[in-house]
Structure 1
Amino acid sequence: MSPYFSQMFSAGMKETTENTIEIIGFPPSIVKDCLLFIYSLGDKTAQLWNTWEELLHASTYFQIESLQAICETEISTTQLTLDSVCNFYEISQQDPSYVLLKSSCEKFIIKNFVHLASLEEFGTFSVETFLSILEDENLQVEEYWVGVAVLNYLTARNEKLDEEQVLEILSAVHFPMIHKEHGAHLQEQFLDLVTSKYREMEKVQRCMEEIIYETESYHSDPSMQIERISKLRSPNKELNFITIGATRTFMMESEKLQIFDAYGFPLAELPFSKIFCNYGESYIFMADYFGNLYEFDFLNLNLQKVVDCEFLPRKHMGVIALRDSVFVFGGIDNVTCKASDKINQYCFADKSWKECGKLQEGVQDAIAINSNDKLYIFGGFNDSMDILCQSFQCFNPSTGETTLVKHECNDLFTREHVRVVGYGEEIYVVSFVDGKIHHFNPEKLELEEFYESSYAKECKDVVKYKSSLLFVGSPIESNGVAALDLENKVETVTSIKIYVPAEMYRCMKIVQWKPIRFSRENNEGSENSMDDFVSDISNDDDDSFSINS
């Protein structure tokens, strides 16, 4: 029952010959409870007078494992509250045997993080303990609450922190991921704190300046938002992937374009289109076959027409977002029926529409990506739709100039055959025809062969996620999504959920996004059935389309 007492009364120990045994460090009542537990052979109904916390320390010291287990269980099930959990979490780290207590405290903290973030109790944690909570992969809260927790920790912390510790704590907050309105207010509070409490730390002052600059850059650059969306800690962060595709195989007029989340839950039906581009955390833009341009908001499930076809008289054009604008390039002119060389720009700020440049070569069904505030346009078809253009064009919106980029890649650069994914210097051109993957470096304007993948020839779409390319809809999908580790050039299988319905014969695009406000789990157990959340578009004569959920 207790190796501690067994050894004490074993042969040769002085306690075996003395009438009085002195036990130092615990009050008599606690020792009495421990002995009562031993002599009652671990009877759980024995009346113990001390708290479970006090008995936990004693049971550990006296090596009464069964009593320790009871103490941990009782504390975990009946004693954890917002006021007590931080204290018990500190206790759980005092002895490696407190596995149950530590696990229970961590789960409680993660589950109630939003409520704990604004309390001073976090300030009692060591830096290591506090950071371990923020870095827990199970922490799924809006980034704002992580910022609140860090702000309160740095404010309430009584013991002096060195400069490196403050920097490490600040780095735990993904400031750009916080909503613009909340983030600005939170940054002001951090600046006030740094100015008053940490004013002597020059590195911390510079760090805050860099955070503000980085946040402003993030909110003004949709491509950066898409690239960093994998850092989201939101409750539905595993739902970062949305599948858009056609689910009918008959005549073009009867094809249905649907959006599905990672669990296969249909979110909306859209006007038929095969031309899409992401815009930031929660928007996509699409152009239908008649030249109408639409904006779809995932957060509010709202579709709105941006511009009518009479203002954009062509189809089969390319669409790409950059900063505060959407650019439409190439396509087939409805009047001349030739491949257009026009580049048009729609600015969100003043809702203006203008022609901003021309391509070196008119193309339709070309693909594009942006990097360093420039648009890189790959291939497409010529006027006759029978000759593939191998041109690679670079458009600079600031000057309105388009230049040709030399390359030796002979892949079929069209939306049907190739995907271009990535951001910054990590841009990859993936061919569905021969499986070849090329790496494009915008700084050097170099397009080099990178890897050849069998998955690329069999998949329905490709997305870049962190440091991997995910081949969605490949035959291996039943066991997970096939992936290419870009750092090691190794093909693997991931457990990431990306749903591609069996009835979807054509996958138009996989979109990374900031999850909407409801998820499948949240709907379970509610009065509304799943069918109530299937979204339909009601199109009145208005330019705005509402998604009924």
Structure 2
Amino acid sequence: MADNILDAASQRESPQAAKRMRLDTDHEDGTSVPPSSLDAEVFVDPHHPNKLLEGLNRLRLNSVLCDVILCCEGQEVPCHRHVLASFSPYFEAMFTSGMRESTQDRVTISGVEPQMIGLLVNYAYTSKVSISNDNVQALLAASDLLEVTSVREACCEYMKRNLDINNCVEFYCSADDHSCERLKEHSFDHILEHFGVIYQKEEFLSLSVERLTEVLASDHLNVPEEDMVFEAAMLWLDKSPTRKQSFGQVLEHIRLPLISPSYLHTVVESLDVVKEQQGCQRFISEAKGEQPYSNTARPRRTTVIVMLGNTNKVESFDPLTNQRKTLGRLPMYLDDYAVCASGSSLYLAGGFDDNVSREMWRYDVLHNSWLRMAPMNEPRFCFSLVMLDGCVFAVGGRGSEKSEDSMEKYHPHTDSWQLMESVGVAEHYDNGCCNVVALDGHLYCIGGSRGGETGDQVAKYNPKTSVWTQLAPMQIPRHHQPAACVLNGKIYVTGGGSYNNNNNWIFENAMECFNPQTNQWTMCASMHMGRSSPCMVVVDGKIYVLEERDSDDNVIRNIECYCEETDTWTTVGEIADARFTFKCVSLKLRRDHGSVFSAAPSGGVRLGQPGIDEEDDSAGD
């Protein structure tokens, strides 16, 4: 009846009244401002959204005006259709597309855990949800099904931040199930990097044959010998007798030509499952050289430490095999240059000999030579070179009036530099005395003594907004060249020069760790000895610290290795040749004795082309 009364009243209104009503609400945002009110203003209550949610949630908790009950495995959740439809396209389609659920008082939700329905409904009314290791996979599944994108993304980010050797296989499977590509790539890389530990875990042995072969087929599988890959396949096979029929599919991705002949004969060939399947016999014949090699003869890549100095000599050190090899020589002699690497891309820029250099070079892993790329806009030495989101950033340095207070960005695919002016580099970067690392889309500037500062300062730079943010200071001041690296979403810092309580200059051996999520520093185990300006790299989930000098200016040849899980340091080797300017990076290369490592040490110089040269995966030996 009320509707009829309103309809009748609207019909009796004069044309002038109707026109006035249209004018009053003629703004796109729906505000009602009469044209005659030139001094009118729009009031916006910033607390209104929260108040509205609080009111709706109060109604829900008291079962007031609720018009639907979600039912899931015995759990019932009263709520409001319009709230569900407003935060979930799944419910919007259910309640507005003429489906039978649109008129039902009770709607059954299948395919998710009942507790997750409660969490997501609570999120709809409060904008808050609690994510933990115990519920994150189930919450990801539920938010993916109900199309709650914000919670789905929050679950993925949580899993990326908390990824470790114990959960990476489960997270990889969850990411694959729900098409979370970035999480899948991140967890997959973690499996490859820590394969030597992970392949014995129950979660790995429970992988489907499709997911197992995806892992075994990767060039980046981090193993000291191919024998380990075969052992992993055997453990997986022994888990269930029904897997025998799929073993040929698995064996196809094991690089049998790389297995020692004795192991191939005494272990692989003697297995009943290999003897019984004709397809397996074909792979054995190929491994023995009785048939032409296919891609199974291609060496896998490994992460090595590439060492450079003030000579043109370049070496690699493989911590897994303790092998050293010579790479293509640098085309020049330089001091105080900067290097950075990511994956199989290694860049060297700046430095000085007779003059300060603007040049940049890229190491071509395929041809074992150095390519000259586009030069920087400014000559630089005593600066930092960092890779972030596929680009190279040159930060600060000396060499020209603009160098100290500038940053420039290199785009590999166009072979061009972009000068990023007015970013306040000089306020946060102490040339030659601090360190810069990249993490989660930001650059972190650590240590140094700009303008007499204490040496414990840390600043974060966002390249997208050109905004610097001051962060929590380190627990130990590091005035001069601390080493820094990123491991498992955290920043580790050690070494560097500072003053002790007696105001004496010392070289630090203490290490501390920064958690960007909490903005807090925590102390870790200390190195065996202090180092002035060491190099710090990550290989196979461990931190390696190399070279530089102690407080008596003696060269430290020992290589120290830090294990995050046990918080311990061990000495794992020595550096053969001392270098005055020592630089090192971790780089992915093939364990291929016929190309990169054993190529002529003279190297070469070529003009670079836009883009990043990768190793030719289609090439055989």
Q: TM-score, normalised by structure 1?
A: 0.47
Q: TM-score, normalised by structure 2?
A: 0.42
